[in-house]
Amino acid sequence: MIVIVGAGLAGLACATELHRHGKPFLLLDAGETPGGRLRTSIRDGFTLDHGFQVVLSSYSAVSKVVDIASLQPRYFESGALLAHKGRFAHLANPLRHPLALFENLTSPVFSFRDKLLLGTLVTRVTMSSDASLLSRCKSTKDLSTRDFLRQFGFSPFFLARFAEPFFGGVLLDGDLGTSAGLFLYYLKKFTTGRAWILASGIAAIPTQMASLLPAGSLRLRTRVMALDVKNHRACGVTLENGEHIAASCIVLALTEPAACQLLERPVPEPARSVAVVYFKSLQSIYPNPCLVLPESGSGRVRHFAQVTNVAPELAPTGFHLITASVLDFADLTDEMLAQSVKNEIAAIFPNAATSLEYLETIRVPYGVPFQPPGFAKRKPFSDLPDGIYAAGDWMGGASIQSAISSGLDSAHSILNPHCS
């Protein structure tokens, strides 16, 4: 028997691939629903994702495990609105909107030097392979994103107006301490792909994946408490209720701390967390189908979006849904946080002051793992007992793409043991 522990995207991708090859397995998850960190809840008819999560059309792994078209993807405009002192400017992605190149070059948002540097960097990353960009994450020469951007010559103004709000939000890392290799990889994925969300919420991805698995192969509300290993070989798992399930192959499709706990190894430092604050509004606060980036240092909001500009289905008819991501929130109650977020949005779009009605705050303590410079050179699980495989987003670049890829890789290692 093959037991997969964890039915997040990594575990579901592993299960999907094993099923495709006719291999029986049992997928176990401690949660109420499959999907792990891809969660959506419904409140008063509004569809609320647990964190602002987008999929990029440049993520090649997604279409291997889901039928994207049937999920009703809704696409963001490729670019962002940059807010500064009560005004905002549009920054478009010239690879997606060639006519915007002139607009970008003539716009007073950034200095000519910053625009030239951005053009040079974007050209470089789009001409590099994913593997070569990610190989930086294994190098001792890898820098933090902040140091890399500074060394490349970008001005502090560019960092505060674009890099910190945009990539700080993507990496859930306001200080840009994340590996520059990972930043360059995301820069490529964002410039060559378009971001989408789903009309019925991000959890539709794992829901579809789980629905295609054989009946009885997924057990929810089933926490694995221990791995049973004899003579350095996997022989099963023990559940919270004391049940023992024999297994010659175990895939740990978990977060790194959860996997470390089961393997009785030191647990790594806590991950990066985020809070999303939701508002409803009867009035539209801005019309564009894109993200708004407040200048960093101007408040707590990293970015916000009126997501119904992209997917009107997320709110009941006549309403708009606004989501704001905040990284620095631990000291505030939900009400204080909501007020501070509302004030910040109203400083950019004054009609928000009267039109935004607070809906809900969702705090996500484990967002993505810390991925400092050179993080991929660590080999935390290089000496696993025979028959135990590790998967999970933390093995690559902490994304939907890396979670699915790691799950597919673990399935291939089981199916082709001599190639792994």
254 binds ligand FAD (CB under 6 A): yes
Amino acid at 121: L
By the 8 A CB rule, do 340 and 347 touch?
no
> Degrees (nearest 5) of the Cα angle 111, 116, 119?
125
265 binds ligand FAD (CB under 6 A): no
Tokens 């000519």, residue?
Answer: 112
- Measured from the CB of residue 239, what is the shortest distance to ligand FAD in angstroms? 8
By the 8 A CB rule, do 408 and 61 touch?
yes
**DSSP codes joined into one string, 9-78:** HHHHHHHHHHHHTT--EEEE-SSSSTTTT--EEEETTEEEESS---EETT-TTHHHHS-TGGG-EEEPPS
3 binds ligand FAD (CB under 6 A): no
Sign of the torsion angle spanned by Cα atoms 368, 372, 377, 379? negative
Stretch that binds ligand FAD, among 1-9, 117-125, 128-136, 382-390 (CB under 6 A): 1-9
399 binds ligand FAD (CB under 6 A): yes
- Measured from the CB of residue 264, what is the shortest distance to ligand FAD in angstroms? 13
Q: Strand, coil or helix: what is 95?
A: coil
Q: Which of 163, 398, 408, 414 binds ligand FAD (CB under 6 A)?
A: 398
Segment holding 210, helix H or strand E: helix 204-211
38 binds ligand FAD (CB under 6 A): yes
30 binds ligand FAD (CB under 6 A): yes
For 41, 69, 344, the CA distances from 151, given in Å and listed in that order, are: 43, 42, 31
271 binds ligand FAD (CB under 6 A): no
Nearest to ligand FAD of 169, 299 (CB atom)? 169
Nearest to ligand FAD of 117, 362 (CB atom)? 362
37 binds ligand FAD (CB under 6 A): yes
Scanning residues 194 to 253, which ones bind ligand FAD (CB under 6 A)? Answer: 223-224, 253
Stretch that binds ligand FAD, among 28-36, 241-249, 293-301, 313-321 (CB under 6 A): 28-36
CA distance 113 to 216: 59
Tokens 């291999």, residue?
Answer: 23
Q: Is 286 exposed, middle or buried (0-12, 13-18, 19+ CB in 10 A)?
A: buried
258 binds ligand FAD (CB under 6 A): yes
- Measured from the CB of residue 11, what is the shortest distance to ligand FAD in angstroms? 6
Q: Which of 174, 181, 193, 367 binds ligand FAD (CB under 6 A)?
A: 367
Residue 386: φ, ψ to 5°: -60, 140
Q: Which of 205, 368, 376, 411 binds ligand FAD (CB under 6 A)?
A: 368
Q: Which of 2, 15, 27, 28 binds ligand FAD (CB under 6 A)?
A: 28
184 binds ligand FAD (CB under 6 A): no
CA distance 402 to 396: 5
- Measured from the CB of residue 392, what is the shortest distance to ligand FAD in angstroms? 4
51 binds ligand FAD (CB under 6 A): yes
The 8-class DSSP code of residue 144 comes to B
54 binds ligand FAD (CB under 6 A): yes
291 binds ligand FAD (CB under 6 A): no
Residues near ligand FAD (CB under 6 A) are 5-11, 28-31, 36-38, 51, 53-54, 223-224, 253-255, 258, 274, 364, 367-368, 392-393, 398-401, 403
